[in-house]
Amino acid sequence: MSTITARGSRLGSRTDSASERRSNRRGLIIVACAVVLLLAGTIVLNLLAPPQNNEPYSSSNPEPDGGRAAAQILGEHGVSVQEVTTTQAVLDAAGPGSTLLVTDPGALREAQQEALRDVPSDIVLTNLDFGSLEALTDQITATGGGAVGTYTAECTDEHAAAAGEIVTSGPGALVGEDAEGCFPIGDDDAGTSYAFATWTVGNQRWYAMPNAFPLSNEGLPQAGNAALVLRILGQHDRLTWYVPDPADQFGIDSETGPPPVIPPAVWWFGALLTLAVVLWRGRHLGRVVVEPLPVVVRATETIRGRGRLYRRARAFGHAGAALRAGTVRRLAQRTGLPRTAQPYEVVEALARASGRRPEEIDSLLYGPPPTDDSTLLSLTHALDTLEGEVHRS
């Protein structure tokens, strides 16, 4: 009987092992099929869904700061709108008898600006951010000023005259001697700041709209914004809509430039493959066992430990940057600023909220880093005082 029992046990073990292998294969096949179906469904949905993104002033962005409304209206009136994100794509698409819209020219490198300057199409510049435009044109210079309001054309340009009035704000533009400024929004020591400017170079017509609010979905219906935007963008039957990509490698030596960005499709495939492996191997694991941690570390101890590490490394600049970043984040939330707010917007908002001069706020939040204990302590007290002032206001 003992021999029979031993044999029966060995046979049973082989049967269980074979059954387990079949179950593993069956589970792997099910997971593989699920991954394939999920990937196929994702591709189909991407193909069927209308293209859109959340880049500011993109022709496919339906958000308030997008430009899809203007692009759709132009398309309905026979204008072929093509959005591109690289300088080389602009050079391939734009040509004589067409219009080129550049939504952020200040973000372009000198080599990109020089390439765009020679494009043989009419050019519209918008959303200037105080970046240098010297390699692109010498007829305008971005400047601040100009509160949100309605401004009158006060110039002879036919497009501005047709619009009559537009709703916009700063930044504005100081114009050169060969350019005509329209919609004056302010005066300072440097001269009059305009919300729109135009000039001619040979057979090429240039336009500049420093603030892109009239182009946006939110601003297009207001006052004469639509008339101005649609007239300057719809003069030709082809419009190249350029939303610059910061990762564009145009003009950068491939040996010294940053590595190419991994395509999103590779990330998706890697994520799905990881999920498949987790589902396949995870079935062999038992349920999660929860056990108490051997040590409980208080949050205050973590903060103090990090502070001691900063001090030991004499990382005064790093510590100051962390303090400033935390202050800006908290005060931006308190004053209703978006996460994408630029430094000058933060400075203006906090100056209004605290009653301080903008120069003082700018120096406190974006000034030189501290270099020793005393300057770091002074910066800490000053930031704490600023937070208290904004809180009380």
90-118: average pLDDT: 94
Flag whether pLDDT at 29 surpasses 80. Answer: no
Q: What is the CATH number of domain 68-242?
A: 3.40.50
Q: Give the 3-state secondary structure of residue 299.
A: helix
b (16+ CB within 10 A) / e for 262-298: eeeeeeeeeebeeebeebbeeeeeeeeeeeeeeeeee
Flag whether pLDDT at 52 surpasses 80. Answer: no
pLDDT tens per residue across span 117-142 = 999 999 999 999 877 899 999 999 99
pLDDT reported for residue 23: 64
**Paired residues of 205 in beta bridges:** 200
pLDDT reported for residue 220: 97
Reference 99, options 86, 80, 72, 114; nearest CA is 80
Q: Can you give the three-state secondary structure of 50-96, one letter per residue?
A: CCCCCCCCCCCCCCCCCCHHHHHHHHHCCCEEEEECCHHHHHHHCCC
172-184: average pLDDT: 94
The full set of domain ranges for the chain reads 68-242, 300-392
pLDDT reported for residue 12: 45
Average pLDDT score, the chain: 83
pLDDT tens per residue across span 143-167 = 887 789 999 999 999 999 999 999 9
Of the two residues 75 and 287, the one the predictor is more confident about is 75
351-364: average pLDDT: 87
Flag whether pLDDT at 63 surpasses 90. Answer: yes
pLDDT reported for residue 315: 78
pLDDT reported for residue 281: 64
Is 364 in contact with 382 (CB distance < 8 Å)? yes
Q: Sorting pLDDT into bands at 50, 70 and 90, what band is 78? A: very high
Reference 87, options 63, 119, 65; nearest CA is 119
Q: Sorting pLDDT into bands at 50, 70 and 90, what band is 66? A: very high
Is 253 in contact with 259 (CB distance < 8 Å)? no
Q: Largest alpha-carbon pair distance within the chain? A: 112
pLDDT reported for residue 9: 40
Cα(354)–Cα(330) distance, integer angstroms: 14
DSSP label of 105: G
pLDDT reported for residue 336: 86
pLDDT reported for residue 113: 95
Lowest pLDDT segment from 52-56, 114-118, 267-271, 329-333: 267-271
Which of 48-57, 211-220, 272-281, 365-374: highest mean pLDDT? 211-220
pLDDT reported for residue 261: 55
Q: Sorting pLDDT into bands at 50, 70 and 90, what band is 92? A: very high
Is 109 in contact with 134 (CB distance < 8 Å)? no
pLDDT reported for residue 4: 38
Lowest pLDDT segment from 99-103, 111-115, 298-302, 347-351: 298-302
Flag whether pLDDT at 87 surpasses 80. Answer: yes
Q: Sorting pLDDT into bands at 50, 70 and 90, what band is 2? A: very low
pLDDT reported for residue 74: 97
